[in-house]
Amino acid sequence: AQKVTQAQTEISVVEKEDVTLDCVYETRDTTYYLFWYKQPPSGELVFLIRRNSFDEQNEISGRYSWNFQKSTSSFNFTITASQVVDSAVYFCALSANQDTGRRALTFGSGTRLQVQP
């Protein structure tokens, strides 16, 4: 079975601080995909990034960066110089073919990020 663990339930930072959201995953599949989604209070999940298991290159997109390490089964997400608008719940998710097929995402429990002004 596959599993995604986000150990940080809630993080509170002050604006302009950097913050890292942790994600650890488990899967027996050798080919899999990892995602990060943002869920603002409106409820809609907003796609941030996907990464396949063969691409361990880190990625930076503006203030966002992701660190994928297969050796530790982690896919961490860093927000640099956080802003109040970053306040949301962030979900890490895994897609593998093992159990319910390729389109089914297994989500972590989410990390609520509060950025104080």
Partner 1 sequence: KAGVTQTPRYLIKTRGQQVTLSCSPISGHRSVSWYQQTPGQGLQFLFEYFSETQRNKGNFPGRFSGRQFSNSRSEMNVSTLELGDSALYLCASSLEQAARDDEQFFGPGTRLTVL
- Taking CB under 8 A as the rule, does residue 41 contact partner 1? no
Which x/- pattern, by CB under 8 A, does the window 44-83 give for partner 1? xxxx--x-x-------------------------------
- Taking CB under 8 A as the rule, does residue 100 contact partner 1? yes
Q: Report CA-CA distances (Å) from 84 to 1, 10, 41, 111.
A: 37, 15, 13, 16
Contacts of 39 (CB under 8 A, 6+ apart): 45, 46, 88, 89, 90, 91, 110
Residue numbers at the binding site for partner 1 (CB under 8 A): 31, 33, 37, 42-47, 50, 52, 91, 93, 95, 97, 100-110
